């Protein structure tokens, strides 16, 4: 999730279900009153014993964090813990193939951008080469490109008006989507394999997408350009994602509302668009001015073709990406997978907007590692669920299935296609729990606990203040653990009833006004706010990237690490700080834990920062070159594992 223009969109969910704050209040005040952050009793309420899930400490690979914590920063460059090196691996505008066009600041063409790394890199997946090899020295780097910032791309450009010519709009489209790049680690660091046949761009401008699942071919998916409803051009606002057990990448389309303008015809489709915030004039209004498919008056169904999970096979450069509609349509932050006890696969996702929901999809079929072809369409059949959090540390996953409960013709649903196209409204009717901007959702690789990240909720009303989250608004965010039951010692990610607890409530525990809670004490430099994306290293420790600390707390977005069990369970420590204006996305480790990749998104994206006078020129620091979103590779100077 990015700062601008996405930091001030209004709440579109009118559900009257209790917000998560109210449930936290009911749960914790019923069991015990928190009398102090440092009391053992307070930490005991944070889900530490809510399940018999396996403990990382029981494994031989457990290790305490051993890096020296860094301080707070707010300047024009990055900072990392002592003993670590930061390499800028690839930047916006760098050619993805040997001999490709070099970056020409302010003067790119769309054809050049199609052959260059896109803007505002977000999610990162590292896919070992060869496929299934587990290699930590050669692999495919798959990166999402979420959005563009015209005022940092061209002089005196604002994203609208006469400065946004058709050519510039096409450049923006070309800078969206995904990049797939072969990289290799050498004695001198990580390098791009410019001659690799795997290298490719999948953009919003020209990439052909297939459509599969219940919405494929439905009348609500058809347009003048695609009367079949199964062929979509492009993908955009690709935020976080995930990797499947069979080696494909899932890319999540998030803030689709900013790409459509104009006035659509009144009727049911208008109400459906409103539920997703699609109305009137989008931030990228110039797209509709130059391309009819983004004009609601001319193509009212085009928005229904975005907001999906896109599956990409990075190992096959000729493969066609597919939008998997069975996983539901909303502002997906991620699509992370977990293999359950019986071989079925769960896909977890958060709907990244204030007062929206947490979802999971469970495949009908089972993953077969010996038969790759059998896994090709696993994501087209299964059950989509939405989370309902209850008191007493319990929660339920409620199925979004046509014909069940309120999801019938009486409420405007005539098929499962309607349910997935309007997943938000279906979840409303099922009484799902509105959350504080659910972002990343990741399952721990050992314990199976599912970590659900709520970045913030600036719209929370004063009446929602409570003992466990006493913030109006909630500016600091929190992380919840969902604990699936075990079957034969293996987490059951298909279960419809689970336990839940808290991992942390963000903010400064030394400031009572923040209402922060951590399982163990944190330092003055170790507390965090606005958690966004998380990842687990091979030792099972959690790494948390933030989005919005600069706005909320006045210091740069950072990466924190914490142990997930043991004597310092949940005590976050600061490892890396971004340059000013940037957020940190997509933390990703190589299998051996010796490289941590990070996406540094929108550096210099601050009020008053422009192409001519940016607040930083990271990472080039050359006059005339604007700030460039980049992927960095962090390694230990002695070659050891990150964090040890």
Encode pLDDT of 582-604 as tens digits: 999 999 999 999 999 999 999 99
Q: Are 463 and 69 in contact (CB under 8 A)?
A: no
Q: What is the pLDDT of residue 194?
A: 97
| Per-residue pLDDT tens digits for 133-149 | 999 999 999 999 999 99
SS3 for 581-593 is CCEEEEEEECCCC
Instruction: Give every CB contact of residue 87 below 8 A, 6+ residues apart in sequence.
Output: 189, 190, 632, 633, 634, 635
Give the pLDDT score at 447. 95
Question: For position 473, what pLDDT does the model report?
Answer: 80
- What's the pLDDT score for residue 121? 98
pLDDT at 9: 54
Q: Answer whether residue 23 shows pLDDT above 70.
A: no
pLDDT tens digits, one per residue of 370-399: 998 889 999 999 999 999 988 878 899 999
Tokens of 387: 């989370």
pLDDT (tens digit, 9 = 90+) per residue, 345-371?
Answer: 999 999 999 889 999 999 999 999 999
Q: What is the pLDDT of residues 498-553, one digit of tens each?
A: 998 889 999 999 998 888 999 999 999 999 999 999 999 999 999 999 999 999 99
Q: 155: how many CB neighbours lie within 10 A of its CB? A: 12
Strand partners, 79: 577
Which phi-psi region, left, alpha or beta, contains residue 182 (left: φ > 0; alpha: ψ -120 to 50)? beta
Residue 280's pLDDT band (boundaries 50, 70, 90)?
confident
Q: How confident is the model at residue 484 (pLDDT cuts 50, 70, 90)?
A: very high
Count of CB atoms situated within 10 Å of the CB of 465: 16
Backbone conformation region of residue 466, classed left if phi is above 0, alpha if psi is from -120 to 50, else beta = beta
Least confident of 124-128, 373-377, 447-451, 571-575: 373-377
Inform me whether the pLDDT recorded for 155 exceeds 90. yes
The CATH H-level superfamily of 20-254+307-636 is TolB, C-terminal domain (2.120.10.30)
Residues sharing a CB contact under 8 Å with residue 554, sequence separation 6 or more, in sequence order? 74
Q: Is the dihedral of CA 378, 383, 385, 390 positive or negative?
A: negative
The model's pLDDT over 418-446, given as tens digits with 9 standing for 90+, comes to 999 999 999 999 999 989 999 999 999 99
In the chain, DSSP finds a helix count (H) and a strand count (E) of 10, 34
Structure tokens at 384: 């989509």
d(CA 269, CA 273): 6
- Where do the structural domains in the chain lie, given as residue ranges? 20-254+307-636
34 backbone φψ class: left, alpha, beta (φ>0; ψ -120 to 50): beta
Tokens of 333: 């932050």
Reported as a pLDDT band with limits 50, 70 and 90, residue 471 is: low
Segment 602-630 shows an average pLDDT of 97
Question: What does the alpha-carbon distance between residue 201 and residue 96 come to, in Å, rounded to a whole number?
Answer: 8
């Amino acid at each position: 999730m990015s700062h601008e223009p996405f930091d001030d969109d209004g709440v579109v969910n009118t559900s009257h279900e209790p917000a998560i704050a109210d449930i936290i209040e009911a749960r914790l005040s019923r069991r015990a009153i928190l009398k102090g952050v440092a009391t053992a009793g307070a930490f005991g309420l944070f889900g530490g014993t809510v399940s018999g899930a396996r403990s990382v400490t029981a494994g031989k690979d457990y290790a305490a964090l051993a890096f020296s914590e860094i301080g707070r920063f707010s300047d024009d460059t990055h900072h990392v813990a002592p003993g670590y090196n930061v390499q800028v691996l690839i930047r916006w505008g760098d050619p993805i193939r040997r001999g490709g066009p070099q970056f020409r600041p302010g003067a790119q063409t769309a054809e050049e951008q199609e052959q260059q790394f896109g803007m505002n890199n977000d999610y990162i997946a590292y896919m070992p080469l060869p496929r299934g090899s587990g290699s930590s020295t050669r692999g495919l780097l798959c990166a999402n490109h979420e959005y563009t910032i015209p005022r940092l791309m061209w002089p005196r450009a604002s994203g609208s008006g006469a400065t946004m010519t058709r050519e510039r709009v096409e450049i923006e489209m070309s800078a969206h989507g995904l990049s797939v790049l072969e990289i290799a680690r050498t004695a001198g660091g990580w390098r791009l394999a410019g001659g690799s046949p795997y290298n490719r761009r999948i953009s919003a401008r020209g990439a052909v997408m297939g459509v599969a699942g219940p919405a494929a071919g439905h009348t609500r998916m058809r347009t003048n350009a695609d009367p079949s409803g199964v062929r979509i051009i492009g993908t955009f606002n690709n935020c976080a994602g995930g990797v499947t057990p069979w080696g494909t990448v899932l890319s999540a389309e998030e803030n689709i509302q900013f790409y459509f303008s104009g006035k659509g015809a009144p009727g049911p489709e208008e109400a459906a668009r409103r539920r997703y915030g699609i109305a009137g004039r989008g931030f990228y209004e110039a797209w509709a001015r130059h391309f009819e498919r983004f004009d609601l008056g001319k193509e009212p169904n085009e928005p229904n073709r975005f907001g999906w999970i896109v599956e990409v096979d990075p190992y096959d450069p000729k493969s066609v990406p597919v939008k998997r509609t069975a996983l539901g349509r909303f502002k997906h932050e991620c699509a992370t997978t977990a293999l359950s006890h019986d071989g079925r696969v769960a896909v977890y996702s958060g709907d990244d907007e204030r007062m929206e929901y947490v979802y999971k999809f469970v495949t009908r079929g089972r993953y077969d590692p010996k038969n790759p072809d059998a896994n090709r369409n696993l994501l087209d059949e299964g059950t989509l669920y939405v989370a309902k959090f209850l008191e007493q540390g319990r929660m339920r996953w409620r199925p979004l299935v046509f014909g069940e409960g309120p999801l019938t013709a009486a409420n405007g649903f005539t098929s499962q296609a309607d349910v997935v196209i309007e997943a938000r409204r279906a979840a409303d009717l099922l009484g799902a729990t509105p959350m504080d901007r659910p972002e990343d959702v990741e399952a721990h690789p050992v314990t199976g606990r599912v970590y659900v990240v709520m970045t913030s909720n600036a719209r929370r009303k004063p009446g929602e203040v409570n003992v466990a989250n006493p913030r109006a608004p909630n500016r600091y965010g929190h992380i919840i653990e969902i604990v699936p039951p075990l079957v034969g010692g293996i987490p059951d990610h298909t279960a419809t009833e689970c336990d839940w607890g808290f991992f942390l409530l963000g903010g400064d525990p030394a400031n009572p006004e923040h209402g922060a809670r951590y399982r163990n004490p944190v330092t003055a430099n170790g507390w965090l706010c606005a958690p966004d994306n998380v990842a687990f290293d091979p030792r099972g420790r959690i790494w948390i990237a933030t989005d919005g600390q600069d706005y909320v707390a006045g210091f740069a977005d950072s990466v924190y690490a914490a142990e997930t069990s043991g004597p310092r369970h949940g005590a976050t420590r600061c490892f890396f700080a971004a340059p000013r204006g940037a957020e940190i996305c997509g933390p990703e480790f190589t299998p051996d834990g010796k490289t941590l990749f990070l996406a540094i998104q929108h550096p210099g994206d601050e009020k008053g920062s422009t192409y001519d006078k940016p607040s930083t020129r990271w990472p080039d620091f050359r006059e005339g070159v604007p700030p460039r979103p980049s992927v960095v590779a962090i390694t230990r100077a002695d070659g050891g594992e990150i964090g040890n």
